[in-house]
Structure formats: C-alpha cells, structure tokens
C-alpha cells in the first residue's frame, strides 16, 4: 500500500476555494494518496488571522516540503509587495517551471509542447530599487538594479539542462538581452554557455535575444523545447506561451527549490466571478498533476491528465471561458466520469 504524502494546501482567495474543492474531488477519484494540511494566505489570511502570510502556513510548508496553492491576493497596505514573491524568497524557490502544452481541440497552435524555466529570485524582480530626489522633488527619478549572480545563473541553467535530461527534451534555449545589457545579461549568457558545455552531446543548446524569441514564438513555437531565462523575461514569455495554448486558464506553474516545492494555478483570484461557481479549474488541476509528478505519483497524474483531455475532446462540459455554460463542479464531475479508476 502506498504511503500517503503530507501536502500543505492553500485554497487561496477569490475563485481559489471553488477550483480547489473541484480539484480535490478529481484527485480523490484518481486515487491520489495525499493527506492535506490546509492553511491560509493572502486576503483570506488577513481576514482570519490578521496577516497575509501566517507563520503557521510557513511552518506547514517547512514540514511537508510540498504545497498546492490557489491564487492569492496581496492585501493593500499589508507591507508585502506580493505574497507569492514572499513565499519564493522565504523558501528560495529559485526555479519557476511553466509547461505549455496544447490540450484544447481546434487550438490556434496545435501540438505545442514547450517549457519555460524562469530564474525566480534575481534580476529586476529582486526589488532593489529606490527614488532619487532632485530640486525639492523626492521622487524626481527612480532607479532599479538588475541583480545577476554567477551562482544564481549557474543553478538555473543547470536546472534547465537536468530538467531536459529527466524529461527527454532535446534542446535548451537560453534567452537574454546581452546585446544591450553587456554586464548583467552578458554574465548570464557567459555562465549559460559554460554550463551548456557540460551537457554537450546529451542536450542541444542555443541562445537567442529576448525580442527575437518573442517574435519567433508567435511565428513558429515548434522550434523551441526548453527555454531558460531570467526573472522578468521569464515572467513575460511564460504568459506569451500560455496565450499560444488558450490562455492562463490552461497553464500550470511550479516553484522549486532545495527546501520546498510550491505548485500553483498561474492565473489570478478573479474576484469578479468569485462565488458564482463558473471558474475553469483546469490550470489548478494541471498544477496538481505537476505536484503528483514531483511526489513520484506519475501514474495518478497520467490518469488525471487523460480524463481531462477526454473531457475537453468530447466537449462534455464547457465552462464559460470555453464558450459553454457548465459550472466548476459540473466540469469536475465530467472529468471524474471519464476517469480510469485506479487498480487496487
């Protein structure tokens, strides 16, 4: 008998609790051996315990090492730039992995299958910025520092190559702006080429300037396999590739580090439709599949993905974003009906 995994569950804000309930029902039907440790964050935490990132939530993730997190809203005036960023910094979740796989029938870009590996802790998002006062104007100018370290560059590029090897990927493309930012992006490119040499003969490597990459993703996304890049470029490109496959509602994310792994839907909390029971749970469901893969439960993840694909292929239950009228629960029930039951 499989030993259950302890996993921290953060349902999140807005539509988070709705898509969480449906996702948990699907995982139970798939036979996922998980014991959930439910915690709070964001606005929900602020309303219940008075802080957006409670110590109890951090301690739970420390203990379990794995979390499944719904969309969080950072409360205004809470002192946090972002609860999500705070989690990444606290656990040093240096690698953000965003797979983009076409699962929608008749998609504009069929058969897309690529992965963005984004450095998650450095670059402009490190938050090293300040105002500069001039002529009695304390905010006359603003300055932000792009922090790139050799260590951070080495570990994210090496992560991308190891990911490629583990998942049978053929090519790693390093995306940069070293033609203009000679020092910061130049260091990232220099380190990337050094690390790539260690994998020569096992994984192919090339590098591209970020603006050219954005254009080529729109023209021919099939030329890419694994893209590794810095924090801000990764943020932008990962949303672009989500657009290739139908939008953020079909894009899961994983934040990985040495101490912990947090899996999430990459869309927001959508307060405008919260409580209406109409949200599409696909992104969160796919995030749970990434979590299952991480836990060594690949057969369970495969059952979930197969049932989801059958549901979409048959058009059995279409949520409003897919042009239908099915609600969150109805969509989840359709996935469960198409689930291959686990063997005992």
Q: Which residues are catalytic?
A: 125, 177, 211, 235
End-to-end C-alpha distance for the chain, whole angstroms: 9
Query: Residue 268 burial by CB count (10 A; 0-12/13-18/19+): exposed, middle or buried?
Result: middle
- Residue 227 is classified by DSSP as E
Torsional sign, CA 68, 73, 78, 80: positive
What b-and-e string marks burial along 128-153, b requiring 16 or more CB atoms within 10 Å of the CB?
eeeeeeeeeeeeeeeeeebbbbeebb
Other CB atoms closer than 10 Å to residue 16's CB: what's the count? 27
Give me the phi and psi of 19, to 5 degrees please. Answer: -70, -25
**Closest alpha carbon to 265 in 234, 291, 226:** 291
Alpha helices in the chain (DSSP H): 16-30, 42-49, 55-64, 83-90, 150-166, 184-197, 210-219, 231-244, 282-294, 298-314, 328-337
The answer to whether residues 164 and 156 touch, using CB atoms and an 8 Å cutoff, is no
The answer to whether residues 239 and 248 touch, using CB atoms and an 8 Å cutoff, is yes
- Residue 317 is classified by DSSP as S
Q: How far apart are CA 304 and CA 245, in angstroms?
A: 19
Give me the phi and psi of 301, to 5 degrees please. Answer: -60, -40
**Closest alpha carbon to 329 in 9, 16, 25:** 25
69: left (phi over 0), alpha (psi -120 to 50) or beta: beta
């Amino acid at each position: 008998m499989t030993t259950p995994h302890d996993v921290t569950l953060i349902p999140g804000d807005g539509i988070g609790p709705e898509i969480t309930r449906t996702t948990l029902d699907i995982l139970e039907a798939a036979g996922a051996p998980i014991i959930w440790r439910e915690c709070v964050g964001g606005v929900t935490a602020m309303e219940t315990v008075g802080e957006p990132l409670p110590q109890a939530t951090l301690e739970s993730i420390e203990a379990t090492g794995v979390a499944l997190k719904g969309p969080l809203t950072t409360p205004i005036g809470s002192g946090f730039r972002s609860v999500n960023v705070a989690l990444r910094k606290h656990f040093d979740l240096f690698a953000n992995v965003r797979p983009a796989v076409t699962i929608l029938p008749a998609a504009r870009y069929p058969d897309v299958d690529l992965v963005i590996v984004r450095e998650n802790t450095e670059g402009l998002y490190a938050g090293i910025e300040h105002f500069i006062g001039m002529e009695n104007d304390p905010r006359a100018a603003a300055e932000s520092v792009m922090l790139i370290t050799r260590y951070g560059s080495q570990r994210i590029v090496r992560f991308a190559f190891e990911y490629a090897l583990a998942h049978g990927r053929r090519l790693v493309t390093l995306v940069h702006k070293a033609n203009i930012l000679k020092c910061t992006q130049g260091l990232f490119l220099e380190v990337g080429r050094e690390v790539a040499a260690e994998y020569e003969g096992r994984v192919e490597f090339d590098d591209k300037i970020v603006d050219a990459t954005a254009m080529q993703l729109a023209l021919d996304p099939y030329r890419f396999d694994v893209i590794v890049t810095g924090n801000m470029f990764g943020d932008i490109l990962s949303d672009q590739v989500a657009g290739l496959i139908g939008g953020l509602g079909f894009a899961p994310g994983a934040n990985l580090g040495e101490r912990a792994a947090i899996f999430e839907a990459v869309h927001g909390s959508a307060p405008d439709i919260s409580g209406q029971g109409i949200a599409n749970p696909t992104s969160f469901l796919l995030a749970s599949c990434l979590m299952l893969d991480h836990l060594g439960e690949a057969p369970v993840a495969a059952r979930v993905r197969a049932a989801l694909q059958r549901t979409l292929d048959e058009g059995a239950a279409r949520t409003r974003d897919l042009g239908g009228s099915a609600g969150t629960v109805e969509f989840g029930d359709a996935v469960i009906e198409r689930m291959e039951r686990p063997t005992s």
